[in-house]
Amino acid sequence: MDIGSAADLVLETLWFLVLGRVLISWVDPAGSGRVARLLIELSEPILGPVRRVLPTTGGLDWSPLLVMILLQFLRGLIPG
């Protein structure tokens, strides 16, 4: 596995972690389940800094969407 493939795998994994967190938030908004806690712990280091920079917009958290777009953009920069 070359560096480009490894980087792509890491970025794709992060993308799915963020997606998983979004989806689990619909089922377990309090994050009390074991899977929800795991997804929160793994994705918060990525989402937290973005959330702090973004302005608040009526209770909507846009950080997952922005992070997912950024991850896809970074994946596009990796030579195939």
Reported as a pLDDT band with limits 50, 70 and 90, residue 49 is: very high
pLDDT of 5 > 90? The answer is yes
Reported as a pLDDT band with limits 50, 70 and 90, residue 57 is: confident
pLDDT of 72 > 90? The answer is yes
Phi, psi torsion values for 42, nearest 5 degrees = -80, -30
Provide the mean pLDDT of the chain: 94
pTM for this prediction: 0.90
pLDDT of 80 > 80? The answer is no
Strand partners, 24: none
